[in-house]
Amino acid sequence: MLDFKFENLGPIGTANIQLNRLTLLCGPNNSGKTYLTNTIYAYLKHWTFSLGWKINNEAIAKLEQYGSCEIDLEEELFSNWDDRCKAGANRFVTKVLPVSLATSAHRLEQTYIETKIPIKEKWYENSLNLSIRKGTIHITKLTNSYKIIISSTSNISELSKLFLRSFIRVNVLDSLFNDEVFICSAERTGANAFKNHINFYQESLRDAVESLENHELAAEMSAFKRDYAEAISDNLKFLMQLGISEKTPVNNRLITQYPELIEYFTEITLGSYRVDTNNQMYYTPNKSSDELKIGETSTSVRSLGMIWYWLQFIAKKNNILIVDEPEINLHPKNQRLFARFITRLVNCGVQVFITTHSDYIIREINTLILMSHTADHIPDIKRKYGYAESDKLIPYDVNVYVTKENNSNSLSSKYNVVKIPVDSVTGIQIESFDNEINNLNKIQHSMLYGN
């Protein structure tokens, strides 16, 4: 599991978060949940850049001269792995995070992040065989070895050396920890509705401008710079390329192994989606032949469209799915169904991280945790209320965190993140939700009975 330690990140004073198979983050509005979510997403997306490792000059020279070279990763990489991860986190804060969050580096001067990438289990024991750059570069590793062999079947020019270092670095590091991450931001509903009015080339121009931080034209072109988080930008790009996603073959797709996932998700969407050659998304309700443009549909249909496409064409086992406020636009019944869908994803090998204000989602997840108990009456309850045998969560697979107000005199950091216990007897207890529900009940009781 991946551990994060945060200090002075936006409204967050301190936070220690461990990504489990299912991780929940709750708390009041404006308490830093989206800050944390977008930061975790950015780190998972850019960690190979932040780590700072690259193939050395001697290896490149041998590859150029002899067509192959050998690199001992134990000596080059693993011997100082902890220090590399620490330095990589510092580099991430200064070089990546300001751009990803669309904020100034000045705002993050006091921010500290510490993490350590867990190397994939059995990486040492397993072999490795990768082909990149249309098969012109091969990376291989024997079983029970830290040494990789890189071979090239084409000439290496001075310009291609720069790209070659990047290709090798990313692919080698991805082999250590390649849990691909996908995020559904809280702005997904609007992004789906208005994506065709947002120029993709403008997005590309903004990305190019962000690489000109030290260029004399950067200040003059600042009006084109993205002023919203990278997570939102990535959602827009994903939606603008849905047609490509449909046509791109993905090995080991999750729904190939678990086709029931898309069937279950359709119980929430109550219909299916498609994209035409102009990248226009359509929705067809169940038991109907009427096809609607996505702009003609309900907000719930637009909110769920991005997850449907991720599940249908992108999702693989060991992926990480991040959903910011999954309850957006959903009726309480569908919020409960979505919680069950999340549980089924987790049980099929997807890591899920969500932020939520929904008591319905928390209570449903709570019910699924309690269903892991071995009490004799549990199977009967499942049958009575329509739960499948697989609808359960093991408590130690779930981590729950809540942002709580810091009562100290510090003005810069108002909230700390606190871990909430989870067990199969009492489940999850979120005080902020329970307190508000109790207050409402007291008010209504007083209105009805006059006390």
- pLDDT at res. 344: 95
| Greatest Cα-to-Cα distance within the chain, rounded to the nearest angstrom | 90
* Closest to 120 in 3D by CA, of 100, 141, 95, 90: 141
Q: How far is CA 52 from the centre of its chain?
A: 22
| Listed range (132-141, 238-247, 440-449) with the worst mean pLDDT | 238-247
Helix (H, G, I), strand (E, B) or coil at 71: strand
- 56 versus 257: the higher-pLDDT residue is 257
pLDDT digits over 56-68, tens only? 888 888 888 888 8
pLDDT interval class at 203 (50, 70, 90): low
Overall average pLDDT of the 363-386 stretch? 90
Overall average pLDDT of the 113-130 stretch? 88
Residue 63 CB neighbour total at 10 angstroms? 21
- pLDDT at res. 216: 47
β pairing state of 281-285 and 271-275: antiparallel
| Burial per residue of 276-291, b for 16 or more beta-carbon CB atoms within 10 angstroms, e otherwise | eeeeebbbeeeeeeee
CA–CA separation, 318 and 397 (whole Å): 14
pLDDT digits over 5-35, tens only? 999 999 999 999 999 999 999 998 889 999 9
pLDDT digits over 304-320, tens only? 988 999 999 899 999 99
Give φ, ψ of 137 to 5 degrees: -120, 130
The residue to which tokens 């330095």 are assigned:
87
Report pTM.
Answer: 0.87
pLDDT interval class at 192 (50, 70, 90): low
| Listed range (43-52, 352-361, 398-407, 434-443) with the worst mean pLDDT | 434-443
Kindly state the percentage of the chain with pLDDT values over 90: 43
* Closest to 357 in 3D by CA, of 384, 317, 330: 330
| Burial per residue of 400-413, b for 16 or more beta-carbon CB atoms within 10 angstroms, e otherwise | bbbbbeeeeeeeeb
pLDDT interval class at 236 (50, 70, 90): confident
Q: Which of 293-302, 387-396, 401-410 has the highest mean pLDDT?
A: 387-396
